[in-house]
Structures are given as structure tokens and as C-alpha cells.
Amino acid sequence: MRRAHEIERALGMEYYVADADGTGGRLRDRPEDFRVVERERFSTEPADADPGDYPWLVVRATLREMDTNDFAREFANRVGISRERVTWAGTKDKDAVTTQLFSVRDLDADDVPEVSSADIRVVGRAGRGLQFGDLLGNEFEIVVRDPPRPSQATAVTNQLEAFGGGVPAVPNYFGHQRFGSYRPITHEVGLAIVRGDWEGAVMAYLGNPNENEPDSSQDARRFVEETRDWQAALAEFPGRLRYERTMLHSLVETGGTEPADFRAALETFPENIQRLFVNAAQSYAFNQMLSARLARGLPFHEPIPGDVACFADTDAPAAFPIPDVDREQRVTAERVDVVGRHCRRGRAFVTAPLVGTETEFADGEQGEIEREVLSTLDLAPEDFDLPGAFGSRGTRRAILLPFDPSIEWDPLTVSFSLPKGSYATVALREYLKTSPLEH
């Protein structure tokens, strides 16, 4: 087991499980180097179906250097409709070529606009819009540019296969994108929120200058940290930092001295971002639990006494296996072998908690790990009983991420599928062993 890059360690990802040297190289050298095709579970009728019964038009769009939100906004603007009438199942990054479904309410097929950097094709009509639950997973084809040691991909794959008990696999970490690729502070905001430190949460977002930001952004953050002068800070923060400026306007209006003032500033974020802050705190704790399990030398592909396993979601296809968190199994010493067989056959998963108000800890060594991590972070399940979008009941997540990579050599290209909620860069980091800023 090998120590991870320092940026990853700061996000709870302490180790690589493959000791072999990495290939090196770069990801996303050009958009075509990172191709993603989304797979959904969603039925449609023909495009000429009665719009009264099927009011949603469904299109499949391939985007180049355009993220999901920007496409939806541009599409809506060109049609002259509210962005809220455009829905999708999964959000994709900008620096890639991505293909996914979108649904648009009350739109005729003939009115689909042209959008630059997008190829849009009508699929059909549906009785409802796409939702996150319709996402199954994603298929990836990723090119590694200029790897100095491309042949190391074979050694890494062999070691990941040993870790996964016969199937290449990695710890199911949350990737650095969860926390902010160039300024990873989302979890710091979330941790402060969950601890009830509303001012600390605001300052974690407004302050915290990062060397990867433009100098003007760093200067503005240092100014607000030193002065707490919200009005003067508005003159310092560039217009591109629109969320920060909106928070500052709120602090000017309320006075910015009381906990309620800071909470109001955080509530200027859209609800999905409010949830994202707390989700990032949960993800950080989860990553630390996985690293602690690795440090103890405990298996990921099969349970030990005390683990909490979840049986597989029987509605999910074999290519995109996910746990059914409503079908938990506490693994007693007497059932270790039985549950282990289910895990090895892909019928069950060892899990760890994304902590919330309804979290029940594992027993045995895994339970010790979960309690120790939360104690170190000064968190408890009841802390997640928070107002509005900040609250969370918690859930469970598989600790192992199996994948079946196909590797081509000229250029070095790695192709695989992952279920929803998992990160391609978590698999690729084992191969490259470079800074996540190059992912």
C-alpha cells in the first residue's frame, strides 16, 4: 500500500492500493480524451406520440466543452423557456465530450434549437421528465497523454485485481471533484455547518485563498479574512465570483454579526448547493473511514464480523451494480462466510455510512473505525438534524468499486463502466499516480 498525493490525503484519500509505479501522463489534454456516455433507465414513446399524454420531449445531446447546466441554460434561452422545464439524470463536467439524455416539457420536435458545441438528436416523448433516479451509470473512454511508463498499466491492473478478490477494483472513494477541483473547500464549509458554526462556514467559502486561483481572487479572500468589512469586500471581489458577491450583499443587508446573519448568507445558495456542502462533509468522513480500513489491512471485497452489508439492487443491470440500501444485513461471525459468498458473486456489498441522523454504526472493527473518524471530526449523527436543505438522514455506500478496464496502448486508453455516484478519476488515479490537478 502506497501513500497518496498530498492533495488527495487532504481529502481523506490516504493511499493507493496498487504499490506499482504509475504510468504518469495527463488526462483531459483535449476534450476528446475524456469521453463519457451516460446510461439511463428511462422509457420513451415515438416522437410523434400525443403530447397531451406525453408532454416531455426527450433528446440525446453530445456536448463538447460544455457542462450539463450550461447546456440546459443555453437550450432554454434559445427556445425562450424557463430552465426549470429542462431536466436530466446526471451532471457532467465541461472538459470532456459527454453524451446524455435531456427532457424538455411542452416542446415540439420541430422546435429543437441548434446549440453550439452540441449535437442534439430527438429520441421520443415521455409522460414525465428525467430524474436522478433514472441514472444507471456511465461508460468512459479515457486517453492518457504522454505517459512516461505506459507499460505500468499492466502491473497496476494485476494489483487491483488482487485487491478486488479476482476482479480489478479500487476503494470507492469520493474523487476530488466532490470537494472542488481547484479549490477543495466544499467539505470544510459542510463540516462547519454540521458543527453549527455558521460564521466559520461562511468564512471557509469567502476566505481560504488557494494558489490555483487568480491573484485577484486570492487578494479578495485575504482582504475579507483580515477585515470582515463586507461592504468594502464587495469592491474587492471580482464579478466572476458571483456566489461570494451574493453572500456579501446578504451580510451587508443583515449586518453580518450574528449566527442567523451567516446562516442567511449561506441560504443565498441554491438548495442543491446547500445540500452539496453537507454531502461533501459526509464524503470526507467516508473517505477517512475507507483509509482507516485500508490502514488496518481489512478486506474490501468481503465482510468481516460486524460489517453492514447491503444486497444488490435487483433492478440494476449487471453492468451497473449498486447496493439496495433498504436491504441491509448485519454480518455476524456466523454469517461471514455466507455474506462473503454473496459479495464475491456481486449479490451484496460491504458498506460504510454517509453519516446522517438515522445512521447506525457497524459493530466490530468497522464500527470502531466509524466512531473514531467521527470523534476526530467532532461529529455525531444528531448533528445532521439541520434546517432546510442542510439536514440529512444519511445513507450507506459500497466501500469497493469493481471495474473491468479495457486497455489500448497507442495512445494509452483505458475504457470501463461505473455505476452512478462513482468517479472515473478514482480508478485512474491508481494508474497515473500524479497530482489530481492533472486528472
Domain map (residue ranges) of the chain: 2-27+145-172+403-438, 35-137, 186-269, 273-398
For 383-435, write each residue's pLDDT tens digit. Answer: 999 999 999 999 999 999 999 899 999 999 999 999 999 999 999 999 999 98
pLDDT at 181 exceeding the cut of 90: no
In angstroms, the CA 332 to CA 350 distance is: 13
pLDDT at 348 exceeding the cut of 90: yes
Handedness of CA 261, 263, 266, 272 (dihedral sign): negative
DSSP secondary structure letter of residue 334? G
Percentage above 70 pLDDT, the chain: 100
Does the annotation mark 93 as catalytic?
A: yes
Task: Give residues with Cβ within 8 angstroms of 360, minimum separation 6.
Answer: 308
CA 296 to chain CA centroid, Å, is 26
Average pLDDT in the chain: 94
pLDDT-based confidence at residue 145 (cuts at 50, 70, 90): very high
pLDDT attached to residue 313: 87
pLDDT-based confidence at residue 224 (cuts at 50, 70, 90): very high
In angstroms, the CA 16 to CA 105 distance is: 45
Q: What fold is seen in the domain 273-398?
A: Pseudouridine synthase (3.30.2350)
Grid coordinates given for 367: 464500527
Range list of H helices, 229-355: 230-236, 242-254, 259-266, 271-295, 336-344
Look at 175-179, 218-222, 395-399 and tell me which has the smallest mean pLDDT.
175-179
Phi, psi for 6 (deg, rounded to 5): -60, -35
Task: Give residues with Cβ within 8 angstroms of 108, minimum separation 6.
Answer: 51, 57
pLDDT at 335 exceeding the cut of 90: yes
Look-up of cell digits 441554460:
73
Q: What fold is seen in the domain 35-137?
A: Alpha-Beta Plaits (3.30.70)
pLDDT-based confidence at residue 180 (cuts at 50, 70, 90): confident
Look-up of cell digits 481547484:
182
Grid coordinates given for 290: 475507507
Q: Which of 93, 95, 229, 313 is catalytic?
A: 93
Mean pLDDT of 187-205: 97
Do 407 and 157 touch, CB atoms closer than 8 A? yes
Phi, psi for 357 (deg, rounded to 5): -65, -25
pLDDT at 311 exceeding the cut of 80: yes
pLDDT-based confidence at residue 437 (cuts at 50, 70, 90): confident
Domain 186-269 classified CATH 1.10.1510.30?
yes
Mean pLDDT of 1-19: 94
